[in-house]
Structure formats: structure tokens, C-alpha cells
A and B are shown apart, each in its own frame.
Chain A
């Protein structure tokens, strides 16, 4: 697989196939998905429940739940100085990427927070995992300032702490350090690190526009309201300023006013942190609100990709057209798409949409259509459009 990318592209998903091996048979959840995300862009991934949106985003993190397996394909991520294929990385490399370069906001903010830890602990976890070195360096500077001012006893302790932090920077996995951090009383040296991370967490929460962050940091998840929980979850995802943020329907469980606030916030922070977003949702309203481009997904295929304006004004794939028709509007007859989502265990032959398509042709039942670029930056997977 070639490892070249244009420098303005961030993520390139190439020909991705994901199968789930269940007792009932093989579910072909992702059937050849191609996706291109440019730097600084927000790409909406829209589709019905069960069409493979979430599996696509989980594949990017390498977290497809068993019995799912990635059959083939490549997921190229532009790391600035080099391009890596996420599917070829081993676990420890992926762990470093997750949360730092690619992070995820989950659908249910309450579910995504561990009920037994406070906000500081949970947001701090990501910070301590990925920004430990940076924080240690900052602490060292502070210690060096403090040492000359303190008395002999203090100076001795500070010097010990200094040595520990230096060691933490040089050799983060050293065994004696890991043992030390488990011993009570001695491990109080970590107090500084914790305070530092708490400060940073408060900064993050301020960024997330949470009122009274000093109080919120010590709260447990059950004390947070839905909107606040979503802000905290977003803060975790954004804590290390990721290159790519995967947002898996982050606003579906919120009421509309909070939804608007969160969307605005995400948009704003994306600009500030120079991240790109892959926004997974089934809500076309949200797509219209924040996305630059949209990929429409149906039954494991991406059927149409275009910029948001084109999708709404000039939808080309019959599925996209039907989907837009299905938005309820006052004064208009409500139209739903006939038929139902196919079981992917035994997907329809040819084009997967043909049983429900209003413009079905004989060829549709036989041959899977190719992707055709009908205009610049507008590609459709349908037999109606020949290349």
C-alpha cells in the first residue's frame, strides 16, 4: 500500500472491509468504504441506524469490537511529518495515537463517564497518559524556582522530587518509579502532578464554557446534567488537541437548545485547535449546521459524497433523495422510504439499495455500481451515473 498522501489531506480510508463473524453467519458491515478527510474540515457521515457509521469510526481507532474483524483496506493518517497506516500499527503504537492524535466523543455522555471517578480524574487520565512529559517539565521549572527560596529540609525534599521528575521525563517506564508510585506516603510526590493536571482540567472546562469549573472538577458523573456531561466528555476528547476528532452522534441525547450550544462549541474549538472532525450522525439538521462535506452511507457503502450545499440542493443518489424526502416538514405530505434496512448477513446482490430504490434498473440487481465522479468533489455510487 502506498504511503503517500497529499499534504492537505488528513485521513484517507481506502477500500475498507469489516466483517462480523456471528453464529448466524458473516455480517458484511463495511463493504468497501473510501473516505477522504482534509485538514481542518468537518466531514459528516450520515446514514440510518446500523449502516456502519459507528463501525467506520471505531475502525479508525482500531477498536472494532469482536467478533468484528477488519478484512482489508488501509486507513492512512497524516501525522504531519509522516503518513502512517493505522491498520498496520501494533497495540502500543495505537495506544499512543488514541486520545492524542485521534480521539472520540461518544454518543451517550453519561455512559462514557466512569461512575466511580470525579471529573478531574477522568479528564486528567487522558492528560496524564499523553502529556505527562510536558507537565513534568513545567513542574521542574517551578521546582527550580522554589528551591533557592526554601529552608534546608524543604530543599532536600524538593531536590528529591526534582530527581524523580527528571527521571520521569527521561525514562517514563522505569521500574523503580512505577514501584514508588504504588507506595503510600512516598507517592505523595505525585500530588504535584495531580495538582498540575487539575489546573489543566479547570482550564479545559473553562474552554468548554462550563460554569464554575472549580466546583465541577470535583463532581461525580451522576451530579452532572446531560449538557455538562457532554461538555466533560468533549473536554476529554479535546484534552490533547487531537488532529482528528471522531464525533459519534454526540448530541443525539441532548435537547435542542443544548445541542445547538454544543455544536457551536465544537465548531469553535475545532478552529482553535486546528483539528478536523468526522461527524457521525443520522440527523440531517446537524449536518447542515456544522459540516463542510457530507458522506452518505447506506448498508456498509458510501453512496454519495459531496459538499453540504450540493447534498441538500442537488442530491444525486436515489437514496440521498429519498432520505431528504423523509425529513418531516409542515404542510407537506410525509414520505418514508419504502421497505426496510437490509440485514447485512445476506445483503442484496448488486447495488445494496436496489430493493428500495424508486429508479431501479435491471442492472442494479446484478452488478455493484462503481463510484462515479459526476462533478468536481461530488461522487456517487449508482448505475444512473456512468463515468
Chain B
């Protein structure tokens, strides 16, 4: 199920040009084309399948190209987290002693940082953009990876085969990569796939708070932020602007759900003892 959803989104992201062609003379495909300057959202119509948002941004186009943005955020952030976490956790776990102490205290400090605050600080320095969100999420997210990797390495390090590898004359690097990491990477794989969804969710939240890209950028969080003023229409027709937040919402929801299910599936495959009967 998870794989199906993620595969579906991958197809959308790869073929976004086909699903939502970039209008001619439009230089940046991530800028949602607008159709006029009218500030009231327009309901779905044959030209605009999901309707238009404030200032006539096409919601359908935004949702499709937003998939690319979501993948970009998720993958870059998780890859960054993994990289930092792996290096830090491996150093701490394998070498132990003073290095471990130093590295893990840094991890603790970073972990104590309120992520949202750090993101705001970044944005105030770098200006609101997707990059500052991504950077903030990378810098805040790695400590959990580092800890999991460290504890896994501590466990695997005790195994006889690690000692046996040293006893036949393997170098430290060889022991780390060929014998320890390969046996301690599974929890991280699960964590990374679960996290990809969560990261997109936090990025959307940050966008919603106005820390993300400017209005009109194809980013789901940004699109919901744009529809903030249109959640309630009027007493007669309270949900009159439903399309402005429902469609991006559905995209975010399914995307995150897909990654969560995928993570669960990974766990079942990699650790069969946890499988439900």
C-alpha cells in the first residue's frame, strides 16, 4: 500500500510536465501560473480542475508541481540528517571514550534546541525561502539518527564477528563499513522512510507560518497558507472555499501516509519478529 502511494507520487513528480504543462513563456516551473489578479478564489472548473486560489493561482498546477517540492524537501532533509547522524553516531559509538563524550554532548545540545525557533532564526538571517527551511530541518533533525546509530553500533560492536574481523587483520574503516554498519543500518532505514513523511509535514507547517517560499511557489504548505483567509466564507455558505485548502491538504495527507506505511512495511520486512499476526 505504502509502496503504491509513493510510486504514484513518484510518477506525478517525474511526469509533472505531462500532468500540468508549464505555460509558454513561463521561466520558473515552480511558480504557479496565475490567471488574473482577482483576489477571490474561484471554484473548480474545466480549465482549473481544483479551482484557483487567491490571486487566481491554479491549485491543480500547484499540487502537481508541489509533489516535486515535497520530494525534494523530504529527500534532501533526510539525506542530510542521515549523513550527519551516521558520521556522528559512528564516531561516538565505535571509538567511544572522549570522542563519544564530546560528540554525544553536542548531540544533546542540538537536540535541546527548539526546531521551530531555529528555523525562525534561520529565516530571519537568510530570508524566507525553501532553502532555509531545508537547512533548519537538517540541522535540527540529525540528533535522533545519531543516537539510534550509536546505540546500534554499541550493540553490534560487542558481537564476536567484529572481534573476529579485527583478529584476521581488518583495518578500522573496514570493520566499520563491512562489519558494523551493514549490521546496524536497518533501524535507520526504517526511521528514514518514516521521517521523510514527517519532514514534509514539518516543512508544510513552517511554510504555513510564513517562513517558507513566497506566495505562488508550488509548495503544499505554502498553498494552504495562502488559503488561510478562506477557510470560512460566510454564514450562508461557510465552506464555500473548501477547494483552496482541501486539495493541497489531501496531497499532504496521502504523501505522509504513504511514507508512514512504507516505513511500516520496511520494518515488517527487516524485523519479522514485530510482524502482526
Interface residues of A (CB under 8 A from B): 61, 63, 65-66, 94-100, 103-104, 106-108, 111-116, 125-126, 129-130, 233, 236-237
Contacts and interface: CB of A to CB of B under 8 A. Distances in A.
B182 A236 contact: no
5 contacts: A94-B169, A95-B171, A112-B163, A113-B164, A116-B183
Given A106-B163, A107-B160, A114 B169 contact: no
A63 B166 contact: yes
Contacts of B164: 104, 106, 112-113, 233, 236
A291 B35 CA distance: 92
Contacts of A94: 169
B150 interface: no
Contacts of B101: none
A80 to B, nearest CB: 18
B167 A61 contact: yes
A358 to B, nearest CB: 38
A237 B160 CA distance: 14
Given A66-B96, A115-B183, A116-B183, A99 B167 contact: yes
Interface of B: 96-97, 159-161, 163-171, 178-179, 182-183
Given A108-B160, A114-B161, A236 B183 contact: no
A104 B183 contact: no
Given A114-B165, A115-B183, A129-B168, 5 more contacts: A61-B166, A63-B166, A108-B160, A111-B160, A125-B168
B169 A130 contact: yes
A95 B172 CA distance: 10
Nearest to B97: A66
Contacts of A96: 169
B161 A113 contact: yes
A111 B170 contact: no
Contact of A98 (B97, B160, B167): B167
Given A107-B160, A114-B161, A116-B183, A98 B96 contact: no
Contacts of A63: 163, 166-167
B12 to A, nearest CB: 30
A104 B178 CA distance: 20
Nearest to A127: B168
Contacts of B171: 95
Contacts of B165: 114, 125
In order of increasing CB-CB distance, the 10 nearest A-B pairs are A99-B168, A111-B160, A99-B169, A98-B169, A126-B168, A112-B164, A114-B161, A112-B160, A104-B167, A95-B169
Contacts of A100: 169
B168 A98 contact: yes
A103 B161 contact: no
A99 B169 CA distance: 6
A349 B183 CA distance: 45
Contacts of A125: 165, 168, 170, 178
B169 A126 contact: yes
Contacts of B168: 98-99, 103, 125-126, 129-130, 236-237
B92 to A, nearest CB: 14
Nearest to B171: A95
Given A66-B96, A116-B182, A116-B183, A111 B167 contact: no
Contacts of A116: 182-183
Nearest to A63: B166
Contacts of B179: 114
B167 to A, nearest CB: 4
Nearest to A239: B168
Contacts of A65: 163
A106 B170 contact: no
A129 B169 CA distance: 7
For A63, A104, A125, the residue with the greatest tally of chain B CB atoms inside 10 Å of its CB is A125
Nearest to A104: B167
A94 B182 CA distance: 25
Nearest to B161: A114
Contacts of A111: 159-161
Given A115-B183, A116-B182, A98 B166 contact: yes
Contacts of A115: 161, 183
A115 to B, nearest CB: 7
Given A66-B96, A66-B97, A95-B171, A112 B166 contact: no
Nearest to B166: A63
A103 B168 CA distance: 6
B167 A114 contact: no
Nearest to A58: B163
For A63, A97, A112, A236, the residue with the greatest tally of chain B CB atoms inside 10 Å of its CB is A112
A237 B164 CA distance: 9
A242 to B, nearest CB: 10
A96 B170 CA distance: 9
A63 B178 CA distance: 19
A41 B13 CA distance: 70
Given A126-B168, A129-B170, A236-B168, A114 B163 contact: no
